[in-house]
């Protein structure tokens, strides 16, 4: 597998990278193991100062880092800038709250003293995706490093410049060599890394297939893993909703990052009473989106990240249409250079169509008509995934019903699903297990140690 930067906007190769050798990998593991012994004993104040410095570096050079993102994976430039700014916020959040989240918890028992302590594990291997190439890394690395762990990154093969830039940020922030390292390696070499005794835990963000493979390897080695996998998030709209807001946010939620987001709205479950009007407005909005160069300020939809992703999305659409789905707009590759796919809306999707069961990782909205909230929940839960859910209703009883009954790790009411450093992030079913972010996220890679002192 080639490790290279290829422009999604033109299809041209920008730069190729030599994969790290077995010797490089061994050296990284040695550096990480040595760094952990020192880093784990550092004070929260010391880690916090360095993490704040990382935030400063991100903000000071946000446009350069954003340009790397947009060049390598095609994200709209202003969205890339926002991603860098979010990384800085994440760093500052854990710099401020890590000590509080990991403070010893005293528990009243029959003992003279009993408590819970949170202690770091060691080297955590992170296998990260290309779609949010900085944020996915920082939302793992900031809490893991603040907890006293050290990080080893295996990034996606199409964003090597992002991976190397992140390592440099942590080094410039003052973290010792080995606290955060990037390995440019092929997927086939990951299993051997997981098997290495110096790797103490694994985290992966990616497809459910990749998650299953990593969980299998980690399970054989009895190592903790956190998996944030795919999603086919429902976007439910009931008659009491603000229809105009639901339409505009719905379009944004489906086309964010050109639809290449695990928490993008994918299945739109619309109440029968408002279905026709919602569809009409939604289709008009999708038709009017401006597709183009990620660096053009007017662009609203950029290219997909790679040729194989474009082919995969198109195959899902064409096979769904062959099964009986109807195309209301789009439905094909855009007639232009680069990996562009037309913003698409499908309806009348049969259960045997790929679009009904699979995650569609592109700007393709799937429309379903439902009679009421009960049918909406039944259809929303009829999925192997359970990451996020967005619900639009101003009926308080409906809100409580959806919050309680939806099978997902996150339920957002009258808002699109998004990650926030203050809140735990993750899913159920084939969307994975474990949590990132919040207090739960920093505790995932700690030894939750019980201390009991008898009378």
* Active centre residues (catalytic): 228, 262
Sign of the dihedral through C-alpha 20, 21, 22, 24: negative
For residue 283, the tally of other CB atoms under 10 A from its CB is 20
Do 380 and 234 contact (CB within 8 A), yes or no? Answer: yes
**DSSP structure string for 335-383:** SSSSS-B--EEEES--TTSHHHHS---SSEEEEEEESSHHHHHHHHHSS
Question: Closest Cα partner for 76 from 260, 348, 323, 314?
Answer: 260
What helix, strand, coil percent values describe the chain, rounded to 5? 45, 20, 35
273: which DSSP letter? G
Question: Closest Cα partner for 345 from 324, 367, 315, 362?
Answer: 367
Helix 243-255 with 275-287: angle, nearest 10 deg: 50
Do 262 and 130 contact (CB within 8 A), yes or no? Answer: no
**Regarding beta strands 233-237 and 224-228, do their DSSP bridges make them parallel or antiparallel, or are they unpaired?**
unpaired
| Token pair 């699903």 in the structure block, residue | 417
**DSSP structure string for 212-258:** HHHHHHHHHTT-EEEEE----EEEEE-TTS-HHHHHHHHHHHHHGGG
Question: Closest Cα partner for 306 from 231, 365, 362?
Answer: 362
């Amino acid at each position: 597998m080639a490790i290279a930067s290829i422009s999604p906007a033109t299809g041209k190769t920008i730069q190729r990278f030599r994969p790290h050798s077995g010797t490089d990998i061994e050296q990284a593991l040695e550096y990480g193991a040595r760094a952990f012994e020192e880093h784990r004993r550092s004070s929260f104040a010391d880690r916090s100062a360095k993490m704040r410095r990382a935030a400063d570096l991100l903000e000071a050079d946000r446009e350069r880092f954003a340009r790397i993102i947009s060049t390598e994976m095609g994200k709209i430039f202003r969205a890339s800038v926002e991603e860098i700014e979010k990384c800085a916020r994440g760093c500052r959040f854990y710099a401020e709250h890590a000590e509080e989240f990991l403070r010893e918890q005293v528990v009243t028992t029959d003992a003279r003293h009993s408590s819970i302590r949170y202690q770091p594990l060691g080297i955590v291997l992170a296998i990260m995706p290309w779609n949010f190439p900085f944020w996915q890394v920082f939302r793992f690395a900031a809490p893991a490093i603040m907890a006293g762990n050290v990080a080893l990154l295996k990034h996606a093969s199409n964003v090597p410049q992002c991976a190397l830039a992140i390592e440099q940020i942590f080094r410039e922030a003052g973290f010792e060599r080995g606290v955060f390292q990037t390995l440019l390696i092929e997927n086939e070499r990951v299993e051997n890394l997981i098997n290495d005794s110096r790797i103490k835990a694994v985290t992966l963000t990616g497809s459910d297939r990749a998650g299953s493979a990593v969980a299998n390897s980690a399970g054989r080695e009895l190592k903790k893993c956190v998996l944030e996998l795919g999603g086919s998030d429902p976007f439910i709209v009931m008659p009491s909703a603000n229809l105009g807001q639901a339409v505009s946010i719905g379009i944004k939620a489906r086309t964010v990052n050109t639809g290449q987001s695990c928490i993008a709205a994918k299945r739109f479950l619309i109440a029968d009473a408002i279905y026709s009007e919602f569809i009409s407005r939604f289709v008009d909005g999708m038709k009017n989106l401006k597709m183009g160069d990620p660096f053009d300020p007017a662009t609203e939809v950029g290219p997909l990240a790679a040729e194989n992703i474009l082919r995969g999305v198109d195959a899902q659409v064409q096979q769904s249409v062959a099964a009986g789905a109807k195309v209301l707009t789009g439905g094909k590759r855009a007639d232009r250079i680069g990996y562009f796919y037309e913003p698409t809306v499908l309806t009348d999707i049969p259960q045997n169509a790929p679009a009904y069961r699979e995650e569609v990782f592109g700007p393709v909205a799937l429309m379903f008509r439902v009679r009421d909230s009960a049918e909406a929940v039944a259809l929303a839960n009829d999925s192997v995934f359970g990451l996020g859910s967005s619900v639009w209703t101003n009926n308080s009883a409906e809100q409580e019903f959806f919050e309680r009954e939806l099978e997902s790790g996150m339920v957002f009411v009258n808002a699109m699903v998004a990650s926030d450093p203050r809140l735990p992030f993750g899913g159920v079913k084939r969307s994975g297990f474990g949590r990132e972010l919040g207090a739960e996220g920093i505790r995932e890679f700690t030894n939750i140690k019980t201390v009991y002192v008898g009378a």
